[in-house]
Amino acid sequence: MKNASSPGFWRRALALLYETILLLAVWFIASFLFHLIFQDTTAGYFRPLFQFYLLCVGGAYFIWFWTHGGRTLAMQTWKLRLISADGLKINTRQAITRYLFASLGIGLMGFGLWWAFFDREHQFLHDRLAGTRIIKCDAN
């Protein structure tokens, strides 16, 4: 898989858009459960706890899919796969690192995504930092 090709910009952009829609659905269900448990939304601790909870839910979603086949639902649809830089399956540490750096890079006005325009292999910054890369794949 080391010789696998990188997906183009539009494939990545559309997969990212689809991924956002799926993540919003996951967050919607998770939010409903959270609000059932913590019904007092006026408490001072509510907002930071809720945001941290959603960050963890998103992390669980991505990390589980990335370490169990290297593909989220959106990545399966757009025939993309996440692998380590050496072409092997990614480990849990790489998945956590990628998620945390991606969250930080997206939170900083998308800097981690814009990085791909200047990277020699058009990889995202969080892929560079985590030792991972996204490839095109034809098999399901």
Every domain of the chain and the residues it spans: 9-136
Tens-level pLDDT at each residue, the chain (140 residues): 555 788 988 899 899 999 999 999 999 999 999 999 988 888 888 899 999 999 999 999 999 999 999 999 999 999 999 999 999 999 999 999 999 999 999 999 999 999 989 988 888 999 999 999 999 987 65
Query: HSE of 73 in the Cβ direction (CA atoms, 13 Å)?
Result: 10
Q: Which residues contact 14 (CB under 8 A, 6 or more apart)?
A: 78
- CA–CA dist 26, 23 (Å, integer): 5
What are 53-82's pLDDT values in tens digits?
A: 999 999 999 999 999 999 999 999 999 999
